[in-house]
Amino acid sequence: MPPRYPRDFHGHGPDRPDAAWPDGARIALSFVVNYEEGGENCLLHGDAASEAFLSEIVGAAPWPGQRHWNMESIYDYGARAGFWRLHRLFTGANIPVTVYGVATALARSPAQVAAMQDADWEIASHGLKWIDYKDFSKADEAADMAAAIELHTQVTGSPPKGWYTGRASENTVALAAQQGFDWISDTYDDDLPYWAEAGDRDQLIIPYTLDCNDMRFATAQGFNSGDQFYAYLRDTFDALYAEGVEGQPAMMSVGLHCRLVGRPGRVQALRRFVEYVQGHEGVWCARRADIAAHWAEHHPHQRRVRPSELGHEAFVEQFGGVFEHSPWVAEGAWGLELGRAHDTALGLHSAMCRVFRAAPPEDRLRVLQAHPDLAGKLAAARRLTDDSTAEQASAGLDALTDAERETFAAMNSAYVAKHGFPFIIAVRDHSKAGILRAFERRVNNGTEVEFDEACRQVERIARLRLEAIL
């Protein structure tokens, strides 16, 4: 196989599906509490250095071989005070929450776990430890993932149904998909859930957020005050809510950390946002488990032919006739760097047109000459390709009167005599009368002009054929 591009720039496409949220909700809102305190880098946890990420310490750096007392104390605040402040806020507002729980952190916080369960919060897995996996081998990351699931099950009484590593590697999603989770959130690439195909498994992805996230209180060019955090959450909500009113409902995630937004000077911004949301109708505040169950029921995955995954022979067999009697266009397209963006009619058309346009004029001329005359001798002898037969029939060219047939024959002869290739037009875009008018207008054009126009029409015909296939 030639190179295949693994990233997906197409996604749901220009018209995202109707989420059909419960009770006609205009937006789904997911609040996530990251519980990491006790799972961060620390010599006490067997790590080589102290934690340096997402704290009040500006410019923090790892301390190899040393405990960082101030860093540990800041994390302790999240467990001792911040968690309970968030717990009171959400239970008081009767808003369900998803917890991203680091397994070792949960094991060190039995009171907090009990409170999560008493509130019917969903506890998903946030990995074994809250560390960076970018440099881990595949085997070592998989081993930590298995250990996280085992410890999570021991601590909570049941295995996690959802997964989010956060400080992920390029292997994380693929490894997590092998575990059978209902959902995975290690992406930030959409406003709606979507399905990923992982071998034989159809894996639901519920994208997460790094912008509507209190982590920006602890990063450069982030939030400096609660007012900034509230304004950003409100504006995001307003934009998505308006799209929902217009018939394109999406989802919004809000990422929270006990040691960050759990501080008194920040939690009021979150409280104002909760009150703002509750002042709107048609808002579905849901755990990610609920969103996953809804999506699986209302938008089950359907596998289909993906051109980018076909071998050479199958690809050419399926798409070799898209450009009339010119399989070399499909062969050239198969050799390009295809990806998920080319698995649609529009995407594959783009790749095939690249090949056609890059070809020398004599090769493109042969494509033009491979097209049949409209209502010509091949049609009368029933020797057209299936595509050409259907296309000409769509405009009524298979049911001409004798007079109309004579007119087409005369115009075909005049056009070919002048330009050296048949008159080409995407007949599905026109009526019989419109085709005749175009014939009369274009026969008098210069050959260079007509060559360019005929090539454009060939590309249009190819697009229509691909839409019929895909």
Q: Give the residue numbers marked as catalytic.
A: 371
Count the neighbouring beta carbons within 10 Å of the beta carbon of residue 102. Answer: 29
**373 DSSP 8-state letter:** P
CA distances from 252 to 100, 191, 298, 370 (A): 16, 7, 19, 52
How many CB atoms are located within 10 Å of the residue 12 CB? 13
Residue 27 parent element (H or E): strand 27-35
Q: Check if the beta carbon of residue 333 is closer than 8 Å to that of residue 351.
A: yes
* C-alpha span between 227 and 68 (Å, rounded): 31
CB 240 within 8 Å of CB 252: yes
Alpha carbon 71 to chain centroid, angstroms: 37
Return the closest-CA partner of residue 127 out of 109, 97, 107: 107
Q: In whole angstroms, give the CA distance from residue 435 to residue 447.
A: 19
User: Contact, 197 vs 205, CB < 8 A?
Assistant: no
- How many whole angstroms separate alpha carbon 59 and alpha carbon 51? 12
Give the Cα separation of 262 and 17 in Å (integer): 36
Cβ neighbours for 375, distance < 8 A, ≥ 6 positions apart? 392, 397, 398, 400, 404, 405, 408, 409, 412
